[in-house]
């Protein structure tokens, strides 16, 4: 199994989200329900923590359904101040990412609730908030959305991690099923259908001409910005 350390970058939605998290003691801890990103002063997005638990998972069920489910979960124990705060695992603890996410510490008692001020920090956002938000760009079909975030670095290696580019296009996040980045995908019939459905999907590097508006929940791309095809 190729570890992510052997690659040059990875897609967050495809390779990290929803993976099983396992402690150093081999205990199953939970799933990567969401990932916290810090927005640097220059707009770069840097992953800081894996988020777990229903408060991280439920909002990912979509804007309407997710909101309703999160509110319902809040009501289950209204008296608890931390009912809507997810559990946090620092990104530094991630030791290896293959078909599961291995941590460098044992699972027992590892998870803590996120602090209130951290949850309210406007400089932090979640991958789940970015996936699926609309993309406004004259060169892309109107229904385009953020389909995935591509990172540089590897979560288990040294060096910096940050979101390098966005995969954008019409469709639903996750519906590429990983057919975007392999040269010899099979079965041919399934790959052909997925490629055809995502024939308008493109990769756009973060930087000049690309603005992520976290408040409005949309991405604006200036006309003429370089859009690379998938599997380039």
Partner 1 sequence: MKRYFAVLLGILTAIGGFVDIGDLVTNAQVGARFGTSLVGVVALGVVGICVFAEMSGRIAAVSRRATFDLVRERLGPRMGFLNLVGSMLVTLLTFIAEIGGVALALQLVSSLHHLLIVPFVAAAVWLVLWRAKFSSIENVLGLMGLALIGFAVALWQLGPDWGQLVAGVSPAEKPEGEGWATYAYFAVALFGAAMTPYEVFFFSSGGVEERWTSKDIGVMRANVFIGFPLGGLLSVAIAGCAATVFLPAGVAVETLGQVGLPVAVGIGKIGLAVVVLGFFAATFGAACETGLSTGYSLAQYFGFPWGKFVRPKEAAGFHIILLLATVVAAGVLLTGVDPIMVTEISVVFSAIALPLTYFPILVVANDPDYLGEHVNGPVANALGVFYLVVIAVAALAAIPLMAVTSMGQG
For partner 1, the binding residues (CB under 8 A) are 1-2, 13, 15, 17-21, 27-31, 33, 52, 57, 60-62, 65, 98-100, 173-174, 177-178, 182, 185-190
- The CB-of-117 to partner 1 minimum distance in angstroms stands at 27
- The CB-of-20 to partner 1 minimum distance in angstroms stands at 6
For partner 1, give the closer residue by CB, 131 or 140: 131
User: How many other CB atoms are found less than 10 A from the CB of residue 156?
Assistant: 16
For partner 1, give the closer residue by CB, 38 or 133: 133
Q: Give the single-character DSSP code of 183.
A: S
Give me the residues paired with residue 35 across strands. 50
For partner 1, give the closer residue by CB, 65 or 222: 65
For partner 1, give the closer residue by CB, 149 or 221: 149
Report the DSSP pairing between strands 20-22 and 135-136: unpaired
- The CB-of-104 to partner 1 minimum distance in angstroms stands at 18
Sheet with 20-22, strands from edge to edge, namely 28-31, 20-22, 100-103, 94-97
Q: How far apart are CA 229 and CA 80, in angstroms?
A: 48
Query: Can you read off the two tokens belonging to residue 178?
Result: 């990983």
- The CB-of-113 to partner 1 minimum distance in angstroms stands at 17
Q: How far apart are CA 130 and CA 133, in angstroms?
A: 6
For partner 1, give the closer residue by CB, 27 or 123: 27
- The CB-of-225 to partner 1 minimum distance in angstroms stands at 28
- The CB-of-89 to partner 1 minimum distance in angstroms stands at 12
For partner 1, give the closer residue by CB, 132 or 210: 132
Q: Is 33 exposed, middle or buried (0-12, 13-18, 19+ CB in 10 A)?
A: buried
What residues have CB less than 8 Å from 175, skipping those under 6 apart? 147, 194, 197, 198
Q: Are residues 113 and 49 in contact, defined by beta-carbon separation less than 8 angstroms?
A: no
């Amino acid at each position: 199994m190729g570890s992510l350390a052997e690659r040059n970058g990875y897609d967050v939605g495809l390779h990290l989200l929803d993976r099983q998290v396992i402690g150093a003691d081999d205990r199953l801890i939970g799933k990567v329900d969401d990932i916290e990103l810090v927005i640097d002063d220059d707009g770069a997005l840097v992953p800081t923590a894996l988020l777990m638990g229903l408060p991280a998972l439920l909002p990912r069920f979509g804007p309407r359904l997710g909101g309703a489910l999160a509110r319902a979960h809040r009501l289950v124990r209204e008296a608890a101040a931390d009912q809507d705060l997810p559990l946090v695992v620092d990104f530094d603890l991630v030791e290896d990412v293959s078909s599961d996410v291995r941590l460098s510490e044992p699972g027992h008692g590892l998870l803590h609730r996120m602090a209130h001020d951290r949850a309210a920090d406007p400089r932090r956002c979640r991958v789940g908030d970015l996936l699926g938000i609309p993309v406004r760009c004259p060169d892309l079909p109107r229904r385009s959305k953020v389909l995935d975030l591509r990172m540089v670095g590897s979560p288990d290696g040294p060096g910096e991690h940050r979101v390098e580019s966005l995969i954008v296009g019409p469709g639903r996040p996750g519906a590429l099923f990983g057919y975007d980045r392999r040269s010899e995908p099979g079965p041919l019939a399934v790959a052909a259908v997925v490629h055809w459905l995502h024939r308008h999907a493109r990769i756009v590097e973060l930087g000049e001409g690309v603005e992520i508006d976290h408040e409005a929940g949309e991405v604006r791309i200036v006309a003429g910005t370089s859009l690379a095809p998938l599997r380039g």
